[in-house]
Each structure stands twice: as structure tokens, then as C-alpha cells.
Amino acid sequence: MRILVVDDSALYRKLLSDAASSVPGAETVAVSSGELALKRLESEKFDLVLLDVFMEQMSGPQTLEKIKQSHPALSVVMVSGATGRDAEITIGCLAHGAMDFIPKPSGSSFESGMEALKSEIRKVATLARLRCASSSALHAAPEPSTPSATAPIKRLQPPPFPELILIGVSTGGPNALSTILPIISANLPVPILLVQHMPAAFTKSLAEQLDKISGLSIKEAINGEIPMPGEVLIAPGGFHLEIFRNDAEKIQTRLTSSPPVQSCRPSADVLFNSAAKCNLRGAIAIILTGMGSDGADGVATLQHALPTWCIAQDAATSTVYGMPQAIAQRHLSNEILPLQEIGPRINQLFRL
């Protein structure tokens, strides 16, 4: 794997290069500007770009735009601080083609900061390899799969009166959500509850940016609120989002700090499992791009508990075909759709 580090700080170039050397078999090249990065990409092949968000000449977002114009399939990961401004710009980059982001080292211990950075870079290098593998798999014959012994009987029609839309998404989520949510009618008669795997601070910026481009009302969920029709509540980073029936028989939110599930907090499985206990008339579950299998157990629980229609994103349009693939392999999906068809399909299901 060849990794290109782009940062105008000599210190961070060295830190990122040293951390990237922990990726087995990796060769790292570091440059000090977006212009130099574009020149290297013209003449050399790289598998992963680690791109600083703030650079004095050509900024990270500007460099990302030019990289995506010339090398649309190349995996680009933003390197970001955790301040509000950094988070806002990083979310914008994720919505415009960056595969993921990693935080710059922080904290009082240099050693622990470097270990965390190495872990993050190994993770995104794995994601980049998975993207290459997924792309190759699209051209190979599909392997047969066996339905799970515990899979519910597949519904032939969507439930006529679903009360909720539940969405689980991870890597590639900001881009997927910025494609889907603006298409959904503002007259949607039910709430949307959404889990995006993302740290604290970034989910707030994500909600704010999505709210600007959608007719729906989109915000971070808070503890104890009543989800309203046409509203999208995003689980805040670092907390599980659950729902329950209150004494007035209304659906109400609950945020918890219980242990991660599927190595995730927030976790789609936690949200979906809580919805399965709410005696709903029906639900629409949507599983989008992401690494791992979070959401699959939750969808199975929902389908056993209540009328549930599951839509999974297809492999061709997924940044990482992990979460939707887990749904497909367990035969839990009622429909497998390309990203651009999911928003219109939601409108169609609700006759909007």
C-alpha cells in the first residue's frame, strides 16, 4: 500500500508518516502542499491520501475537490482537529467525496497520542483495501449464500402504516445522507431516527449541514424528546440512541452511555432493538454504506417483532460494502437499491 501524506506542517508530516509506517507493507510519501500532492498523483499511483484540512495555500477541501476530479476512486482521508470549525469543514469534505477522517493527536501524553494515531491510520488503510476488494468483487460472480435459520419470513409488501424510519450508516455516511435526505419530502408523516458512526462534535456539525440542504428538520437527538413527523434525529457521538413508549404512549428518546455494541457507540443495533419493543404498527429500516455489520442483528429483531421493510444500499454505490452486505448475506433486505434511488423510494412508500 502506498500512502501520500499532505500537510503543510513539518511536525505533522513527520508524525503522520511515522504513524503510517505501522501499516504492514506500507510505503509513505509526504508533501507539504496540495499543489505538490496533485503533481505526485499525476505521475505515481497511491492507494490512500491523508490530507490535512487546514493548509495556507491550497486548502484541504480545495485539494480534495481537485483530487476527486482526476482520481474519483482514490481513497482520501481528512486529518482534522476536533474544534467546531474543524468539524464543520471535515463534514463538508465527507459529503464531497472524502472516505473518512482521523483526528489529529491530542492529549498530554505523546506516546498515547501516537498509538491512537497509528490505530486510526491502520483502520482507514483497512477501509481503503476493502474498497479495492469491493470494487473487484463487483466484477466477480456472486457467491451463493444460505438464509439464516432464524431469519423471519420475508414480507411481500411494505407495511401500510409505518410509524418510523430507522437508518444505520457508517463510512461514507455524510455523502450518502446528503444525497438521500434532500430528496425526501418535507411532508413526511413520520420521524426519522438515524445512527451515523461518528465521534462527538462531528455529529452536531453533520446535523447542521444536512439541515441546511433538506426540507426536513434535522438535528442531534437530545434525551427525553418526542420525535415529530418530518424530523430527523441523529444519535450524538458517544451516546447510544434508544426509544421507548412513555406513560402517554408516545415514542420518546433516551440517550445512554452503555458499552459499545459492534465496537460502536452510537450503534444502529441498539436503536433498532429498542424500536422492536415499542409495539409499532410498522417501520422502515434502511442500512447504508459502512464497515462492519452493525444494524443486521437489529433489523432481524425488528422483522421478528413487527412489520418491517428493509432497504439496503447496493455494493456499487457504497463507499464500503460492509453493513449493507451483512444485511444481504442474511437475506434481511426487502430491496437493494443504488444510493440515488433510496430517497425517491421513501417518498413512494409514503405516497408523497
**Residues facing residue 337 across a β-bridge:** 313
153: which residues sit within 8 A by CB, 6+ positions away?
none
Of 74-78, 141-145, 243-247, 267-271, minimum mean pLDDT range: 141-145
pLDDT tens column, 122-140: 988 888 887 766 555 554 4
Average pLDDT of the residues in 307-331? 95
The maximal CA–CA distance of the chain, rounded, in angstroms, is 65
Instruction: From the candidates 8, 100, 294, 297, give the one annotated as an active-site residue.
Output: 294
pLDDT at 146 over 50: no
Give span(s): CATH 3.40.50.2300, the chain. Answer: 2-137
Does 170 participate in catalysis according to the annotation? yes
> 2-137: what CATH class?
alpha beta
Band (pLDDT 50/70/90 cuts) for residue 147 is very low
pLDDT at 318 over 50: yes
Instruction: From the candidates 7, 197, 269, 274, give the one annotated as an active-site residue.
Output: 197
CATH 3.40.50.180 is right for the domain spanning 164-349: yes
pLDDT tens column, 46-92: 999 999 998 888 999 999 999 999 999 899 999 987 556 778 888 88
Question: How many C-alpha atoms does 156 have within 13 Å on its Cβ side?
Answer: 0
More confident residue, 54 or 4: 4
How far is residue 27's CA from residue 21's CA, in Å, rounded to a whole number?
7
- The mean of the pLDDT values for the chain is 90
Instruction: From the candidates 170, 214, 318, 333, give the one annotated as an active-site residue.
Output: 170
- Highest mean pLDDT of the ranges 91-105, 150-164, 280-294: 280-294
* pLDDT at residue 139, rounded to an integer: 44
* pLDDT at residue 144, rounded to an integer: 44
φ/ψ of residue 144, rounded to 5: -65, 145
Q: How many helices (H) and strands (E) does the chain have?
A: 11, 14
Identity of the amino acid at 278: C
How far is residue 94's CA from residue 105's CA, in Å, rounded to a whole number?
20
pTM across the whole model: 0.85
Does 240 participate in catalysis according to the annotation? no
pLDDT at 148 over 90: no
Of 58-62, 227-231, 281-285, minimum mean pLDDT range: 58-62
Give span(s): CATH 3.40.50.180, the chain. Answer: 164-349
191: which residues sit within 8 A by CB, 6+ positions away?
164, 165, 227, 228, 229, 230, 231, 232, 233, 251
**Quick one: which H or E segment has residue 109?**
none
* pLDDT at residue 153, rounded to an integer: 57
More confident residue, 144 or 1: 1
Of 96-105, 229-238, 266-275, 294-303, minimum mean pLDDT range: 96-105
More confident residue, 112 or 45: 45
Does 86 participate in catalysis according to the annotation? no
* pLDDT at residue 140, rounded to an integer: 44
Of 103-117, 243-257, 267-281, minimum mean pLDDT range: 103-117
Average pLDDT of the residues in 152-173? 87
DSSP-derived pairing of the beta strands 192-196 and 217-220: unpaired
